[in-house]
Amino acid sequence: MKFKKIILCLMACILGLSILLPVRTLADNNNLNINAESAILIDGDTGKVLYEKSAYERREPASTTKIMTALLTLENCNLDDVATVTSEAITSVPSGYSTDLLLMGEELTIKDLLYALLLPSSNEAANVLAIHVAGSIDSFASMMNTKAVELGCKNTHFVNPNGVHDDNHYTTAYDLSLIAQEAMKNDTFRQIVSTASYTLPSSNKYSRIDRTLITTNDLIKKQSENYYEYAVGIKTGFTTPAGNCLISSATKDDKNLIAVVLKSNTDSNRYNDVKTLFNYGFDNFSRKDVVKSGDIVSTIDVKNATSATKNLNLVAETGVNTIVTNDKLNNTIEPEITLNEDLQAPIKKDAIVGTATYTVDNIQYTVNLKAGNDVKKSYVLYIVIAIAIIALILILFEKPNNKKKQKGKRKKSNVRPIGYYKAR
């Protein structure tokens, strides 16, 4: 008996712990053997995190910083604008970092400078763009930090546009994934980072056309052993403190993924890490239409409506498409519906009547609900009330008239003709 009690107690403890302990996601449970000290894989369309390893810890970004530099440049310049390579742009790059691509006083278009920035990772090109956009490197760094906050970065601080080492220049894998996601929405940025080589035109300081820029990203070089057929950029980075860094995007079928690895110990390992992350994402996740635009989410009865129109279809104004693990692909997700207060007839078709909120992997997606049909107001009740009021009024007026008639009749019956009694 005592033994049974002990077993029951142990089972109760195990059950209690299973309830209290957090539920781990599929991504957490998969040991992907990522070499980098920090890594993250997100859905490039929704930003949903599919895998992370120390993704919220501070790291140095090295030249992956230049993604933010390019993003701000594209937001503030035209591609055919011309910028000049100043002395400050070259001399402000510390000794030990390359500055041998551009010449002092050289005039180049923003487009050419962006290719120089993102393919061979020109440090002086980053400075030229920063000075052109903001007037100074410090002012541009301030713009970078403001933009980072706008994008939702929580632990990022930039002090320069190129990523040269500075103790106050830091970010996280998660923050970099947000920056990369935003940059990849720009068609020009996407085109540049997916380009393996580009030749600079001649300029006022360089007459030959032999400066062919080669990307540092082996994922998009077909001749490289690190080539990955689904890769679409984005940017490498390296300094001794930062280690080997890589931010990349890959597209396969209907899935767009972004991977970030920071502080990998070798060049080849950073590529292997990214490929591992992409293969994991493509093999284990699928896109799911939780609801499509125009779908009937529910049907309700509307107050004070005619019997023919009282059934109102609640229609999704927009769709919700997200990425889920393959085992959840066929699951039906019921929404939480919130209707507008005091919803009643009349209602015009396509009027917003409420919202529907879908929860997928603890992430909420809310869409507006439109009226799928006209709902006409019923006047039957008003007619009944009006008839009742009229009837009541008639009854009230009828009673006094009847009394008067009755009194009149009684008086008439008491009158006798003259000579009545004599005749008798």
Nearest C-alpha neighbor of 268 from the set 307, 236, 298, 222: 236
So what's the pLDDT on residue 342? 87
Ramachandran region of residue 47, left (φ > 0), alpha (ψ -120 to 50) or beta? left
Q: What is the mean pLDDT of residues 366-372?
A: 97
CATH number of 26-288: 3.40.710.10
Token pair 């923003």 in the structure block, residue: 110
Cα 114 to chain center, whole Å? 27
Q: What is the pLDDT of residues 8-30, one digit of tens each?
A: 444 444 334 333 333 334 444 45
Determine whether 205 is an active site residue. no
Q: What is the pLDDT of residues 391-421, one digit of tens each?
A: 788 888 776 555 555 555 555 555 555 555 5
Token pair recorded at residue 273: 């890490």
The per-residue pLDDT of the chain, averaged, comes to 89
Q: What is the mean pLDDT of residues 41-68?
A: 97
Q: What is the pLDDT of residues 318-356, one digit of tens each?
A: 999 999 999 999 999 999 999 999 899 999 999 999 999
What is the band of 119 on the pLDDT scale with cuts at 50, 70, 90? very high
Among 54, 92, 121, 203, which one carries the catalytic annotation?
Answer: 121
- In this structure, the dihedral spanned by the alpha carbons of residues 77, 78, 81 and 84, taken in order and rounded to 10 degrees, is 30
Q: What is the pLDDT of residues 135-158, one digit of tens each?
A: 999 999 999 999 999 999 999 999
C-alpha distance from residue 163 to each of 60, 82, 137, 232 (Å): 8, 24, 12, 22
So what's the pLDDT on residue 6? 47
Determine whether 121 is an active site residue. yes
The answer to whether the beta carbons of residues 291 and 335 sit under 8 Å apart is: yes
Q: What is the pLDDT of residues 167-218, one digit of tens each?
A: 999 999 999 999 999 999 999 999 999 999 999 999 999 999 999 999 999 9
Separation CA 410–CA 32 (nearest Å):
111
Among 38, 63, 249, 378, which one carries the catalytic annotation?
Answer: 63
- Does residue 363 surpass a pLDDT of 70? yes
So what's the pLDDT on residue 401? 57
The domain over range 292-371 is classified in CATH as 3.90.640.10: no
Among 38, 54, 66, 122, which one carries the catalytic annotation?
Answer: 66
185 C-beta neighbours (distance < 10 Å), count: 11
So what's the pLDDT on residue 116? 98
The answer to whether the beta carbons of residues 170 and 58 sit under 8 Å apart is: yes
So what's the pLDDT on residue 7? 46
Determine whether 307 is an active site residue. no
Q: What is the mean pLDDT of residues 80-94?
A: 97
Q: What is the pLDDT of residues 226-280, one digit of tens each?
A: 999 999 999 999 999 999 999 999 999 999 999 999 999 999 999 999 999 999 9
> What residue type is 400 in one-letter code?
P
- Does residue 31 surpass a pLDDT of 70? yes
**Residue extents of the structural domains in the chain:** 26-288, 292-371
Provide Rg for the chain, Cα atoms. 38
Nearest C-alpha neighbor of 273 from the set 105, 34, 32: 34
Establish whether domains 26-288 and 292-371 are of one fold: no
Q: What is the pLDDT of residues 293-320, one digit of tens each?
A: 999 999 999 989 999 999 999 999 999 9
Residues 6+ apart with CB under 8 A from 42: 48, 49, 50, 177, 181, 257, 258, 259
Sign of the torsion formed by the C-alpha atoms of 162, 271, 184 and 231: positive
So what's the pLDDT on residue 290? 96
So what's the pLDDT on residue 44? 97
